[in-house]
Amino acid sequence: MQVFLYKMNGNKLVPHDNGDIIVIVDRIGVKVFNKNGNEITNYSFSFLGDESLLLEKLNELEKITGVKVDVNYALAYPDIRSRRLKLNQLIGYVFEEYVFSVLSKYYKVERNKKIYDYIYGMKVHNKPDFIVEGKIAIEAKVGDYNNEQIREYEKKFPIGAIVFPWSGNCKASKWICFYYFVKDPERLLRWIEFYIIK
């Protein structure tokens, strides 16, 4: 749980070191209270920078996928860096939920299944986003990805894919990359079908 101080500027909440509005952020959401401890339910946060660009992406993804999130979870943070990070996390969450919903309509899909414990005492990346039919690993990404992570998954799953909602930059050694999944999920599904039947 994190607690931040804000003040009301017009009808917008603005971060302020001596603010009289308390904003609490935890895993399940955001709560806002006035100085008397009464909960405020009708509020909005003032933008601090370029949040609107990420909010546009999130709104577009929500419309296409039908997966909804509370953007206040990101906007409650009093600095632009944290807001960007949290908005990107929300975008990633919405996209991952969508990929799961599409895949699970057609296949048996395991989510975040641990594939390694430790290798020679070293911690490794061990949970691909999805394992389809026990054969194919799928990673849903909305931005940059960790090449080391993909290489570790490739050792266990030589057949795999990295899926992006829009364009992306992808250079996996064994896996294939799919772009614009939100517009054309059929490409990935046909590819999976080929390897399931094979």
> What pLDDT digit, counting tens, does each position of 9-68 carry?
988 999 999 999 999 999 878 999 999 999 999 999 999 998 999 999 999 999 999 999
Give yes or no: residues 71 and 12 share one domain. Answer: yes
Give yes or no: residues 182 and 115 share one domain. Answer: yes
Give yes or no: residues 83 and 114 share one domain. Answer: no
Pairing of β 12-15 and β 21-26: unpaired
CB 131 within 8 A of CB 113: yes
Give yes or no: residues 59 and 117 share one domain. Answer: no
Closest CA to 50 of 18, 84, 8: 84
Pairing of β 130-132 and β 12-15: unpaired
Q: Which domain holds residue 77?
A: 2-100
CB 129 within 8 A of CB 96: yes
Give yes or no: residues 74 and 111 share one domain. Answer: no
Q: Distance (Å, rounded) from C-alpha 20 to C-alpha 77?
A: 16
pTM of the model: 0.87
Give yes or no: residues 17 and 63 share one domain. Answer: yes
Q: Distance (Å, rounded) from C-alpha 35 to C-alpha 139?
A: 45
The confidence score (pLDDT) of residue 67 equals 93
How many domains is the chain built from? 2
Give yes or no: residues 140 and 191 share one domain. Answer: yes
CB 99 within 8 A of CB 187: no
The torsion angles phi and psi of 166, rounded to 5 degrees, stand at: -125, -145
pLDDT class of 118 with cuts at 50, 70, 90: low
Give yes or no: residues 178 and 122 share one domain. Answer: yes
Give yes or no: residues 68 and 32 share one domain. Answer: yes
Give yes or no: residues 71 and 20 share one domain. Answer: yes
| pLDDT reading at 173 higher than 90 | no
Give yes or no: residues 89 and 127 share one domain. Answer: no
Average model confidence (pLDDT) for the chain? 90
Closest CA to 92 of 130, 138, 131, 140: 140
Domain boundary pick from 100, 121, 150: 100
Domain boundary pick from 85, 100, 115: 100
Burial of 181 (0-12, 13-18, 19+ CB in 10 A): buried
pLDDT class of 124 with cuts at 50, 70, 90: low
Give yes or no: residues 21 and 69 share one domain. Answer: yes
What's the mean pLDDT in 157-171? 92
